[in-house]
Structure 1
């Protein structure tokens, strides 16, 4: 699939934000499927008539089954400065997750040590420090309940591989569709109900506050949860 104008959430000289579809890969992997990086390159090259291809830098990543807001750099200057903001934890990331199990509290903070199992390609969460593990922290809040599903707003403090998926599963609340982390069944669309809702940061070149938000997927399921969303989410 290609990137279209409808997929673009924000664009300036240095950055372009895309509303990623669940199932799309950010960078080329062993599957050989077309990556978002290449799709965005193609989109920018065609839009601005760049016959020698466009520069596109990957700033951060979303797991393949995850949907939502992802930011790419259009210049090396933008890439370097946004990488610095992410490294210094000056970017607030907000995700929305759907779970079936009621969380133990309406809001809370999860602190775990994560250990990557590279053979099984999963991340295991522990409630104690483990050798070669990485500390992970996130906060969550129950936004509302609808038809037996709980909608959570999640703000990761750290940025570990599969962090939200493994930490919510460890809490006893695997994400809907995420059978890799204990949900009872997977999705035939290779997606899970985890959505990158927004990124908030100070533009590293314009020095302006930014809050780029991605609407929920229009897939016949996610839309119904729009009624639970408030203006600040």
Structure 2
């Protein structure tokens, strides 16, 4: 099966972006953990295993490999491996940077430069599950790098729409690095509490995931647009569509 549409069978229903015998690409709903965590809440990995088991009447345990992660409050395009071979090859693609990820974010304020590259050293505190920017060479610190492009501004609300491409996959990377730049993400209670209100949904979305298929080597492109609600609705959908089209057509990987 090779599907670019459809929905999973369980609750919550999730849009299927791509599926064949090797891969499952879905649109992750917000506020669901990618994998089991201390909250004990239903997690995406196990929900999808149950879905595959139900849709295909599979007996016993279902294999599903986690290739990359999205923070709990983040939604959008995400790929899983349905075989161990696919998981291994996709992990190689991530390691050799043949696995492209592009995000959309709404941030407070406007970066001084319309585009740029951010390179920081990040250190995670496992006890508090928070990440901070530290001096290069700090024990345990890891280099984090991303590119950003400002796509538009909303003067009425003092917000900017930014496209972000990750070159490393550090925990909370986009949230921490954009906050360090002076432009915390809209709705981010952890790193932007000074400008956000409790209850606001973080405005970070996985727009695009692209990689060579682990078996056929043909390009696979997953695209997911953010919801038509504030603050995303401050910009026309055509802007999101144009960015996605450019990523797909440019041979992004």
Counterparts of 1:1-233 in structure 2, within 5 Å, are 2-4=11-13, 7-126=15-134, 128-146=136-154, 147-148=156-157, 149-183=159-193, 184-188=195-199, 191-219=201-229, 221-225=231-235, 226-233=237-244
Q: In 1, Cα distance between the equivalents of 2:17 and 2:234?
A: 21
Q: In 2, Cα distance between the equivalents of 1:72 and 1:164?
A: 22
Q: CA deviation at 1:88?
A: 1.5
Cα pair 2:147 2:164 within 8 Å, conserved? yes
Distance 1:219 1:144, change over 3 A: closer
Runs of 4+ in 1 over 3 A off after TM superposition: 126-129, 218-221
Q: In 1, Cα distance between the equivalents of 2:68 and 2:15?
A: 18
Q: In 1, Cα distance between the equivalents of 2:125 and 2:197?
A: 20
Q: In 2, Cα distance between the equivalents of 1:73 and 1:3?
A: 20
Distance 1:195 1:52, change over 3 A: same
Cα pair 2:152 2:162 within 8 Å, conserved? yes
Cα pair 2:106 2:231 within 8 Å, conserved? no
Q: In 1, Cα distance between the equivalents of 2:12 and 2:59?
A: 18
Q: CA deviation at 1:126?
A: 3.5
Q: CA deviation at 1:112?
A: 0.5
Give the root-mean-square deviation of aligned CA atoms. Answer: 1.9
User: TM-score, structure 2 length as denominator?
Assistant: 0.85
Q: CA deviation at 1:185?
A: 2.4
Cα pair 1:69 1:196 within 8 Å, conserved? yes
Q: CA deviation at 1:179?
A: 1.9
Cα pair 1:3 1:40 within 8 Å, conserved? no
SS of residue paired to 1:40? helix
Q: CA deviation at 1:228?
A: 3.2
Cα pair 2:210 2:221 within 8 Å, conserved? yes
Q: What 5-or-longer segments of structure 1 have no aligned partner? A: none
Q: In 2, Cα distance between the equivalents of 1:175 and 1:111?
A: 18
Distance 1:54 1:163, change over 3 A: same
User: TM-score, structure 1 length as denominator?
Assistant: 0.92
Cα pair 2:106 2:232 within 8 Å, conserved? no
Distance 1:151 1:127, change over 3 A: farther
